[in-house]
Chains A and B, each alone.
Chain A
Amino acid sequence: MLSKEEMQEIEVEASRYETRQAAAIDAMRIVQDRRGWVSDEAVLDLAGFLDMSPAELDSVASFYNQIFRRRVGRHVIQVCDSVSCWLMGYEPLRDLLIRMLGAGMGETTADGRFTLLPVVCLGACDRAPVMLIDEDLHTNIDQGQLETILDKYK
C-alpha cells in the first residue's frame, strides 16, 4: 500500500503535467527513495494510483536503469564504465572492487551492504576514474583509497 506521504508527493508531481501517467517516473522514484526499490506490489499500487495498467507501468520501470525492480543493498555503488574512465584505468579498479566485495556487477554483497552496478559516463571525465556511491560522487579514485572510501558506508 502507498503511504499517505507517498501519495501526497506523487500528487504534487502529477499536477505538473497534462496527464497522470506523466508522473509515472517521478512516482517510482518517490517510492524507491523511501523503500530502496520498486517491488511488484508497489508497481500494482502505483499503476492503480496513476490510472495505468500494471503491465504498462512495468514496461516503463524496466526501461530505466535508475529504477530498481529488484531489492538492492543499503548502499548502491555505480562505477562509470564509459570511455574517459576506460582510458584512465577503470577496469583494474572495478576488478579490485569485485574482489573486495565478493560481488560482481549487478550483484549485492551477502551482508546486504552494497549493490554494485555499472553506469554510463557520470560527467566528471576530467577527474576520471569516477564512481557514485548513493548520492556522493567520488573522483580521481586511486586503488589504494578504495577501502577508506567504502568504510564510510556502513
Chain B
Amino acid sequence: METPLTANIKPGRRPPDIKAYRKAGGYRALREAVLKMRPEEVTQTVKDANLKGRGGAGFDAGLKWSFVPMGEEASGPKYVAINADEMEPGTFKDRLLMEGDPHQLIEGAALAAYAIQADVAYIFLRREYHLSARLLRRAIAEAYDSGCLGQGILGSEYSLDMHLHISAGRYMSGEETGMLNAIEGRRANPRAKPPYPQVSGLWGNPTVVNNVETVCNLPHIVNNGADWFRNLSLTAEGGTKIYGASGRVRRPGTWELPMGTPLRELVEEHAGGMQQGYRLRGIIPGGASTEFLTPAHLDVKMDFVSVEAAGSRLGTGTIIVLDDHSCPVGMTLNLEQFFLRESCGWCTPCWGGLQYAVELLTGIEAGAGRMEDLDTLDSLAAMLAPGHTFCALAPGAAEPLGSALRYFREDFERHIRQQRCPWSS
C-alpha cells in the first residue's frame, strides 16, 4: 500500500531539510510543472485525479482553481492562501504534515500557486502551532535559498513569493472568507458570496484558499499522474487520506490509508477497538461540525460521497469516538459551547440561536430540563441549518445538535425524567 503523504515522516525524527527532501524526489514536480507544463495542464491533471478538498467541504480542487481568471487580461496580483488554521475540534492531521514534512507543503502550495499563476502565497498558520511555525519558517528560507521560491523559480519564468502568516486565534479565521479578512488585518467575519474569492478575494483580487492536506497531494499527482492517484483510492474519490481517531480507543492516532477505507477498519483495526471496559456509542466522523454516526454505520466507506449518504459528512476524516461512560448530552453541550464561543456574532441565527441552545442544554445536563425543551432544540437545529447565515459555522453547529437529538433522544429524555445527568456520580 502506497503512502505518499507520509513517506518522509518518521515518528520521533526531525523532518527532512531541503537536501534530504530533494534526495527523496522533492521539488521534482515543481520543476516539471514550471518548466514543462502550462498552468492549465496542472489544473487539468488535478481535475482528472479527482482530488477533493481535504479541509472538510470536499470541493473538487481542480474545479476550484478553474474559476480563477487566467491569461493576459486577468487582473492581478493573484493570491493563494494555504489554510493551516487547524482548529476544528477533534482534528489533528495538518499538524502531522507540517511537523513531519514542511517542504512537501511548500512544494504543494507552489504548485497550486503556479496553476492559477499566483504572485504571492500565504501560509495561514494558527498561533498555537509553535513547532510548525519554526519548521515552516526555516523551510521557506531554505526554499528561497535554493531557488525553489522567489524570482524565476527553478530556472523558469515563473516567480512566487511565499510568506508565513501567524494568526491570532479564533475558529472563524479558518473559514474561507473569514481568513481573507484576517489576512487583511480585519476581524475574521465572513463575506457575502458571490463574488467568490477565486474572482474577488484578498484586496479584491483573485484568491484561492486550499487546505494543507489538499496541497500536500499535488507533488505526487504531478509526479505520478492522475490515474495513479485515482488508483490509490478504494472509491471514486482519488488518493489517500490522513485519517485519525481520538477518544476511548486503544490506540488513538493518525493513519494514511486509501480514501474510502471503511469506518469499521479505522475503529477496530487501526485504533485497536475500544479500551477495556468501554463500549462504542457514537462516532463523529470528521470534526465537531459533522453529524453523529452510530455503531450501525460502521460499514460506511470514509469518503465524501459515502459519508454524506449515511447522513453525515467526511469533514476532516479524524473521528471522535463517544463511549458509554461519557454522557451524550454533556458531549453535545461541550460541542455547542465551542460553537457559541467561536461564533463571530455577524449573523443573528448563529449567535442568538447558539446562546439559546447552550442555555437549554446546560439546563438539561444540570437536571432542570423540561420535555418541551427538546422541541425547542429541534427547531433551533433547523434554524442553524444552511440557508440562514453567511458562513458554515451555524450549519456546523446544527449537525452534532440535530443528530444527537435524533440518535440519543432517549438519553435526553432520561435527563429530564430523572432531573439529573445519569452519568454524574
Contacts and interface: CB of A to CB of B under 8 A. Distances in A.
Interface of A: 16-19, 21-26, 28-29, 50, 59-60, 63-67, 78, 81-84, 86-88, 119-128, 132, 135, 137
Given A17-B183, A121-B88, A82 B288 contact: yes
Nearest to A127: B252
Nearest to A124: B92
A84 B246 contact: yes
B36 interface: no
A31 B412 CA distance: 48
A83 B187 contact: no
Contacts of A87: 246-248, 320-323, 326, 331
Contacts, number: 142
A137 B92 CA distance: 14
B352 interface: no
Contacts of A63: 170, 187-188, 344
A29 B126 CA distance: 12
Given A19-B203, A83-B288, A123 B326 contact: no
- What 7 pairs across the A-B complex have the smallest Cβ distances? A125-B246, A64-B168, A24-B185, A66-B169, A126-B252, A82-B89, A84-B246
Q: DSSP class of B's interface residues: helix, strand, loop or mixed?
A: mixed
B95 interface: yes
Interface residues of B, number: 60
B32 interface: no
A83 B127 contact: no
Interface string B168-194: 111101000000001111111000000
Given A121-B88, A125-B92, A19 B169 contact: no
Nearest to A67: B168
Contacts of B341: 120
A137 B129 CA distance: 9
27 contacts: A16-B163, A19-B184, A22-B184, A22-B185, A28-B168, A29-B168, A63-B188, A64-B168, A65-B169, A66-B127, A66-B167, A81-B338, A82-B288, A86-B331, A87-B321, A88-B247, A88-B248, A120-B89, A121-B87, A121-B288, A122-B128, A123-B92, A124-B92, A125-B320, A126-B245, A126-B246, A126-B254
B89 A121 contact: yes
B73 to A, nearest CB: 21
A132 B161 CA distance: 32
Contacts of A135: 130
Given A86-B334, A88-B247, A120 B203 contact: no
Interface in B315-357: 318, 320-323, 326, 330-331, 334-335, 338, 341-342, 344
A87 B88 CA distance: 16
Nearest to B161: A16
Contacts of B342: 120
B334 A83 contact: yes
Contacts of A64: 167-170, 173, 188
Contacts of B334: 81-83, 86
Interface string B82-94: 0000111111101
Given A83-B335, A84-B89, A120-B87, A125 B244 contact: yes
A16 B119 CA distance: 12
B366 interface: no
B166 A26 contact: yes
A2 to B, nearest CB: 17
Contacts of A24: 185-186
Given A17-B183, A29-B168, A132 B128 contact: yes
B25 interface: no
A123 B168 contact: no
